[in-house]
Every structure is written in C-alpha cells, then in structure tokens.
Amino acid sequence: MYLTACVDTAYRYAVWSTGLAAAVPGPAPPAVTDVGRAVAGLGSHIATVALVRLPLDSALAVEDAFPPPLPWEHVATAGECFYLREPVAACAISGWRIHDVAELHDPTNRRALTAEADLIAAAFPRINGGDVDQGFTTAIPDPAGLWDAVTAASPNAASPWHGQSHWLQVANVGVQLLRAGGDAHPPTVFLFALLHDSQRQAEGNDPDHGARAARLARQLAGQHFHLEPDQLDILCNALARHDRGQITEDPTIGVCWDADRLTLSRLSIEPDPDRLSTSAGRSAAAGFVARPSDWRCIVYRYHLASVARDT
C-alpha cells in the first residue's frame, strides 16, 4: 500500500493502478493493487482515492517512495509518499472518493498505458521497496547517494551550462534514445550523464575534463555503483572521449555521446547529424529540444529501460 498526505500524489497512484488494471487482459500484474482491480470493475476509466487514518504509534515499516509517471507524461509530480510492507486494517480506511479520469478516455493514452503495462508491472515493486531485483538496481542501488557523491566531487555542479541541470538533461535524452531500441546498457548511460561534465573546471575549453571524469568513475566504482570490468571500461572510454566530436559503432557509447550532443541547443548550437552515432539520434537531430526532467521520473524510466533490455 502507498500512502501520502498529498491529494495529487494519491490521485496519480489511483490513476496508474486503475488504468493498468483496466488495460491489461487476463490476470492482473502483481503491481496492481486490489483497489485498482475493484475500481476498474465499476467502469472502464475511473480511479479512487481513500482516506487512511493510522494510529500515531503505528509500528508499520515505511520507506520513501515516489509516484510513478504515467506513460504519456515526462515529469513526475512531486509529493511525499510512503510504501508500507504490512497491510492496513480495514477500519483505518474511510472517505472513499471516486473520480472519472478524463485522460484515460483518450485512445492514444490508453495505447501508451497498454504498451508499457508489462514493464511497469515488472519494475514498479522493486523501485518502491519490493523484492524484485533488476539490472539497474544491481548496478546503481542508491541513485540519490550516487548523485550526492558526484555533486560533492564536482567543482562546477551549480553551473547552468555544464552542471546538475545539464546532467539531468543528458540523462533524460539518453533514456529517450534507449527507448528507441538498440543494445545500449542503461546503467552505463545513466552514469555517463551524471559524470561526463562533473569535472569541468572551466565553462569553455577544458580538454582534460573527460579524463578527469573517467578517473572519478573508477574511484566511485564498487562503492556507489557496480559494473562488470568490461562495462566500466566502456563507461570510462565514453567519458574520456565524449568532447572530441568522434562517432562510434559501440551502442552504449553511441547513446552516451548522442545524448550529450543533442543538448547543444542550450548553447545555441544545432546538433550535427554527421556527428551523431545512433539512428535514433540522427532522426531526432532536426529541431530537437532537450528539456530537463524530474529526477525521480528519470530514475524510474531508467528502471523501465533496464527491464525492457533484459526481457
């Protein structure tokens, strides 16, 4: 069960579980709540929100969680939320409110939800404190801790051009390229996005910042993330050479470099398709606008990309 004091967050969970229950034929996936199944039976596109009252001395274990982005959205709504491992007594639940969900009536949104239902069902329990392990979680068990470590080691984390907002921008573009297909390794792309400009000491010419980022990656490996030795070499290769304008046939390095180059519009530079390594990147180059995204939404979508690659 997921609890929150934020009505908007509660509504998001209700929309997600109700829509998923309605969209997936046959037995409901394990991530769908009993409430979602029950409400789906009342109509094709409705959701419900309940008021849950817990005793002040409740001994239930809680973990921080976050609302999942719906498949047709790019930014997750913020809101404090908790995952409860133990059931809540029925007497503690009251104040049911049923909502008609307009966005679930839209055929395009319904197709998007159906297309991603299996991936969401597979990834959601582990992300929010369940027991299902995935490749992304194995490689990066604590994304927030990794973020803090990279930020602490970065001399330019606050830079508007090459700092944290740019790291998230590259991560967001990278996961879009991953979703376009190919055999790139999602955790490596995520790590590249966070690390590639973290060691810049100047906004302009700084030819050694990629090599310094590669050294930082090796320092953090084994503590804040875990990659096989050959995959760590790929990450460090991508970091060390990312600013040289080269292209590559390696699928993971290609996604890394293209994700960075497709953000050049922030510097008023139009990406050159001849300097992009992936077909998805070249297709996106014309008129591409790289937008920043919510941190939790990006992490969630990398989980989904890892699930998609492993299934």
Tell me how far apart the alpha carbons of residues 302 and 10 are, in angstroms, rounded to a whole number: 23
Residue 128 pLDDT: 44
Beta-carbon contacts of residue 90 (< 8 Å; ≥ 6 apart): none
Give me the phi and psi of 256, to 5 degrees please: -60, -55
CB 270 within 8 A of CB 48: no
pLDDT digits (tens, 9 = 90+) for 182-230: 899 999 999 999 999 999 999 989 999 999 999 999 999 999 999 999 9
**Max CA separation in the chain (angstroms):** 64
Say how far apart CA 197 and CA 166 lie, in whole Å. 9
Q: How far apart are CA 46 and CA 206, in angstroms?
A: 54
Q: Residue 63: what pLDDT?
A: 52
DSSP state of 15: H
Low-confidence ranges of the chain (pLDDT < 70): 1-2, 23-41, 43-44, 55-69, 73-86, 118-134, 287-294, 310-311
Provide DSSP, 46-91.
Answer: EEEEEEE---TT----EEEE-PPPPTT-SSPPP--EEEESSPPPGG
